Amino acid sequence: MKPKFNRRFVHRAVVGTIFFFAGLAGLAVQGQGQTVLPDAPKPAERSSSFFHRLATYYGEDWSGTLPSSAAPVRRLPASPLDSPPFPNADWSYSGSQEIGAPDTGSYPLMTALNGAKSRTKVYGWVEPSFNLSTSGDSNAPVAYDQFANRVELQQLVVIVERLADTVQTKHWDFGYHLTGIFGTDYYFTTGKGYFSQQLLKFNRQYGADLPAEYVDLYVPKVAKGMDVRVGRFSSIPGIESQWAPGNYIFSHSLVNTFDALTDTGLLATVKLSDRWLVQAGISAGHDVAPWTDDAKASGTACLDYTSGSVKDSLYVCANGINSGKYAYDNIQQYDGTWYHRFSKTWHMATESWFMYERDVPNAAGPLPIETGTYGAVCQPGELRCLAPEYAAVNYLEHEISPSLMMSFRSDFMNDKKGQRTGYAGRYAENTLSLTKWFGSTVEVRPEVRFDRSYDRPAYDKGRTSNQFTFASDLIYRF
């Protein structure tokens, strides 16, 4: 079914989102404008005009004359990567603040509002995109540019955030986070029971969501620090993120597209040492609100190891584990991620997962299938069957200059029963991408991508087995 495009809905949603978060920004600045964050950069005095200060920030950022301060103290080994041009300077883990890392975020909006003096920060980005495709209408299962030959608004994101101070070890601290999104990428944040009628009932091309709202409690006296997160947050683990600035490449891998999106629950992260970190938690299951009939008590456990040289990091997780019986997105996920740095300018990131769901209705049978999901290609006569899938992805990354990086991604997935894509079989993709930075606030990420389904036509709504796309996005931070 082709998604409905309602211009009046889009206009109202954009205006409503902007005014809602503008109100939050005003409250945050009014309530915390005089609380100075020790590790925040100290910008020079600006004009009293908000718009002049905002324009000055962008001009100085793009010209390389933005005021800077000494690197803040951190309770971590030296960062293995440069950021920019890479999305992150440290090997990442999910579901927690980076324990021992200072809050170094400096944003145009906050600088213009109050000189970046408050611990509560309001920031975000807008991400338009375009793509040219050999498919006529749909690029699926490619994501997030699933609509073929279009100019789209992928994400308009506004974040209200306060980070706990995890560098100090004397007292507990807290943080909070609220994310609002509008655009086509709401497809990949939607959880059943959270504004989900936009997608599951009306199948709208554009929508809005609040995919992250949580509180962090930092307890310094547990090992080398513990963070307890309670609320709704991105499902762990993974190389990629739903948030555009956190990714190497504009489009997403098969590995990321078809695993879990968000969880609601509690997750504890304990830093045992500079090398070892453990996580354990409980959630309502993947991509569902706790008050829905599909919610199931689900366990998560992860182990993260970083080598003494900081050249390698291994992160393994069992995520969303319960009985595995069929429900909305009730996939049982076992995931491993490995980062390796070859040199200062070359590194790679590899991820693999195995997932399954039990008693999935036969796609050709009489049993009802959850809206927004697919049934399984079971044996003839079976009403239900086990639906397993496995996948792996590798990123090879090269820093060409402090403002330019190159990425090459290879990706494979076997959707054995078609329960994730709708077409049972093996898939592969290869993508070559460049990322160009303008200061620290603007990125452009052109890419060329080739996808293939080996066992049956799965692209352009089942009409072809091969697909070429050329695409690019632009990320503009505020």
pLDDT tens column, 263-293: 999 999 999 999 999 999 999 999 999 999 9
Distance separating alpha carbons of residues 427 and 255, to the nearest angstrom = 11
Place of tokens 């990567």: 81
Helices and strands in the chain, H and E counts: 5, 16
Q: Tokens for 404?
A: 């330019």
Distance separating alpha carbons of residues 478 and 472, to the nearest angstrom = 20
Q: Is residue 395 part of a domain?
A: yes
Cite the beta strand spans of 66-146 per DSSP E.
120-133
Supply the CATH number for residue 394's domain: 2.40.160.10
Q: Is residue 270 part of a domain?
A: yes
Q: Is residue 469 part of a domain?
A: yes
Q: Is residue 275 part of a domain?
A: yes
Residues 6+ apart with CB under 8 A from 16: none
Predicted confidence at residue 304, as pLDDT, reads: 98
Predicted confidence at residue 209, as pLDDT, reads: 97
pLDDT tens-digit profile of 355-404? 999 999 999 999 999 999 999 999 999 999 999 999 999 999 999 999 99
pLDDT tens-digit profile of 302-326? 999 999 999 999 999 999 999 999 9
Place of tokens 């997932």: 355
pTM confidence score: 0.88
Q: What is the domain count for the chain?
A: 1
pLDDT tens-digit profile of 151-203? 999 999 999 999 999 999 999 999 999 999 999 999 999 999 999 999 999 99
Q: Is residue 1 part of a domain?
A: no
Q: Is residue 460 part of a domain?
A: yes
Cite the beta strand spans of 163-239 per DSSP E.
173-183, 207-219, 226-234
Q: What is the mean pLDDT of residues 438-455?
A: 98
pLDDT tens-digit profile of 192-250? 999 999 999 999 999 999 999 999 999 999 999 999 999 999 999 899 999 999 999 99
Do residues 175 and 160 lie in contact, with contact meaning Cβ atoms separated by under 8 Å?
A: no
Distance separating alpha carbons of residues 21 and 33, to the nearest angstrom = 17
User: Helix H segments across 33-49?
Assistant: none
Q: Is residue 433 part of a domain?
A: yes
Q: Is residue 2 part of a domain?
A: no
Place of tokens 């718009």: 51
Predicted confidence at residue 67, as pLDDT, reads: 87
Distance separating alpha carbons of residues 258 and 423, to the nearest angstrom = 13
Q: Is the pLDDT of residue 112 over 60?
A: yes
Predicted confidence at residue 3, as pLDDT, reads: 43
- Helix, strand, coil proportions of the chain in percent (round to 5)? 15, 45, 45
Range of the domain at 15: 7-477
Predicted confidence at residue 48, as pLDDT, reads: 75
